[in-house]
Homo-oligomer: A and B are copies of this chain.
Amino acid sequence: MENASNCLAIVGATLLDGTGVVPRPSATILVEGERIVAIGDGSLEIPRGARRIDAPGKYVITGLMDANVHLFYVNTPDHLVRYEGRYEAVIAEAAQIALRSGVTTVFDTWGPRAALTVVRDQINRGERVGSRIFFAGNIIGLGGPTSADFFPIARQVLGTAEADAMDARWEQGVGADLLWCTPEEVRSRVRRYIAEGDQDFLKYAGSGHTHMQFIAFSEPVQRLIVEEAHFAGLTVQAHTTSPESLRMEIEADADLLQHPDITGAAPLPPDLLERMVKQQLPCAAMFVTQRYLDWNLKNGQQPMKSFRQIQARNDRDLVAAGARLLLTTDGGVLPPDTADHPLLSAAVLAEDSPTVLGEGHFRWLEAAAELGLSPMEALKAGTSNVAHAYHVAEDLGTVEVGKLADMLILDEDPLTDSRHYRALHTVIKGGIVIDRETLPTERVVTAALSR
């Protein structure tokens, strides 16, 4: 360890390593390059030349991980047009906003594959700053942004070929027309989708997005999608929105359930809850604070208003039963014209809206506390649980020797108050101390609009 210029030492903080063991006070964490190479107490030798961060009285946790974001979130027809040709910049900006707020890893579960690939790789190669990105591309079985599954009004204001081209960036051959296909055709289309792209994991629609109560794929078809994913070495998650679709996805052996707390007009059936807990199936539940629920009760529109209240009940049940929970926000970056936007205003005007990237994860952690999740379990939900669910725990999810050095230094103890996650002092990703003030380096979606 002669030349230690690529070394970093964090000295004196209390370490919450994310494994669930009791906090370790006055720890010294030694990073070399992008990985953690040693963890010890004050006696651990720090190489000469190493950068040293003295952090007594502070707390070190692993970088937060969000199991569900949409880095390209500007999907209404006007925004699609506005950001046309700038997909990569939009995605990079979002990855920086996430990183700035302590989310060192994001899992993008629905987005334009080509642009996501470029930005992910640029970040991985160090050419851009930003959260680590893992992405799925399309939700298998759903259409793109202008389709009936998302903003069909787009088809009233956009040229058809233009809208088709936009949708194609998401769909990539596994869009909504898959629902007409035979199992063999689905298999072949999914296989091609896997072969042609470099996505990190798969996501499929167990049920509809707009038409939440409908089932998208029969159980055999769900199984074969899971098979194809596993054959390719990918985890596969299910988009789920109704009790019976949830059952089907569990039976189909999906690796991760994306918002199993969304069950529409009926609560989570007890037998399914029991199975999820027993199998410790990763549940990416969209926790919201009571403040949000109150806003929803007052301002929400039916039927989503009722659905949200039922979801809140499911969330309480999931916590109480001991489900394996993952922090998930569905978050994205919204442009300045969102608050008075006819298609978006409700979401963004909500108090404690969970879907605001850079804020949503804090709200999730606060909501978790309100729901009775223990502080340690909440920390794991935002770190190691996500890493395990996505099969990236070898590198991520805890502060342990050999892992990638993604760490947050907090001014306050997050175990005593969930709001302390906001007391971000330093963000370290891959051994590099992030200059948060400079992020995002280029404003695209958050840029002021000319008037």
Contact = CB atoms under 8 A, between A and B. Distances in A.
A78, A247, A342 interface centre (most CB from chain B within 10 Å): A78
Given A211-B214, A243-B180, A450-B84, A155 B219 contact: no
Nearest to A221: B244
A77 interface: yes
Contacts of A125: none
A63 B195 CA distance: 59
Interface in A134-172: 153-162, 165
Interface stretch (A93-101, A263-271, A395-403, A412-420): A263-271
A243 B180 CA distance: 6
A214 B218 contact: no
Contacts of A211: 208, 211, 214
Given A165-B451, A342-B155, A180 B266 contact: yes
B77 A340 contact: no
Given A266-B181, A340-B161, A449-B162, A218 B247 contact: yes
A156 B153 contact: yes
Most chain B beta carbons < 10 A, residue from A263, A449, A450: A449
A180 B264 contact: yes
A326 interface: no
Interface in A333-356: 337-343
B215 A216 contact: yes
B341 A158 contact: yes
Interface residues of A, number: 58
A45 to B, nearest CB: 56
B219 A216 contact: no
Contacts of A215: 214-218
Contact of A342 (B157, B177, B271, B450): B157
Contacts of A179: 213-214, 242, 244
- Identical copies in the complex: 4
A309 interface: no
Interface in A242-289: 242-245, 247-248, 263-266, 269, 271
A183 interface: yes
A75 B265 CA distance: 27
Nearest to A310: B180
Interface string A61-99: 000000000000000111001101100000000000000
Contacts of A154: 157
A248 B218 contact: yes
A182 interface: yes
A396 to B, nearest CB: 35
A341 B244 contact: no
A176 interface: yes
Contacts of A84: 82, 450
Contacts of A263: 180
Nearest to A151: B157
A77 B78 CA distance: 7
A154 B269 CA distance: 33
A213 to B, nearest CB: 4
B156 A213 contact: no
A138 B265 CA distance: 21
Given A208-B214, A214-B215, A218-B248, A77 B341 contact: no
The 7 closest A-B pairs by CB, nearest first: A159-B337, A214-B214, A215-B215, A179-B213, A160-B340, A180-B266, A159-B341
24 contacts: A78-B78, A78-B81, A85-B450, A156-B342, A156-B343, A158-B337, A159-B341, A160-B342, A161-B337, A161-B340, A162-B337, A165-B449, A165-B451, A176-B213, A180-B243, A181-B266, A182-B244, A182-B266, A208-B214, A214-B214, A214-B215, A215-B218, A219-B219, A221-B244
